[in-house]
Amino acid sequence: MTNSPYLFRAADHPLLDVSDTLKLREARSGFGIALRYQERLPDPPGKPEDGLPDPEAHWCETGHSIFILSGRIRYRFDDHEVEAGPGDMLHIPAGPAHRHQPRAIGTEPVRYVLTEFD
């Protein structure tokens, strides 16, 4: 089989533990796009003063297109929240006006694929 710049084999990109609640497999294309598979566990109960990270410190301003494979996720924006589940798709533009915080909801991990634009 011929190698192709369009194919990214999972075996070539290990699933990494980014944090206690996030695993990530990433492939960066030569076309200015990162392709990611992510598994996000629900956050443990507690408050920042219990030694957990401050949720206010983790806003993302990167643009994404997202496809939810399983589980449920909530994205918090400055002016609203949205929940998504299996088969749902989201597109979040880049920039501070669209800053967001993802959080797995329920008891199951959420598994999703996203693109990140350089």
Q: For the residues 103-115, what does the mean pLDDT come to?
A: 95
Q: Is residue 31 part of a domain?
A: yes
Q: Is residue 48 part of a domain?
A: yes
φ/ψ (deg, to 5) at 49: -70, -15
Structural domain containing residue 65? 12-117
Measured distance between the N- and C-terminal CA atoms of the chain, rounded to whole angstroms? 30
Q: Is residue 82 part of a domain?
A: yes
pLDDT in tens, 51-91: 555 555 689 999 999 999 999 999 999 999 999 999 999 99
Q: How confident is the model at residue 118 (pLDDT cuts 50, 70, 90)?
A: low
Looking up residue 48, the CATH number of its domain turns out to be 2.60.120.10
Q: How many independent structural domains does the chain possess?
A: 1
What is the residue-averaged pLDDT of the chain? Answer: 88
pTM: 0.85
Q: How confident is the model at residue 93 (pLDDT cuts 50, 70, 90)?
A: very high
Q: Is residue 7 part of a domain?
A: no
Q: How confident is the model at residue 22 (pLDDT cuts 50, 70, 90)?
A: very high
pLDDT in tens, 36-52: 999 999 977 765 555 55
Cα separations in angstroms, 3 against 26, 30, 64, 72, 112: 19, 14, 27, 35, 26
Q: Is residue 6 part of a domain?
A: no
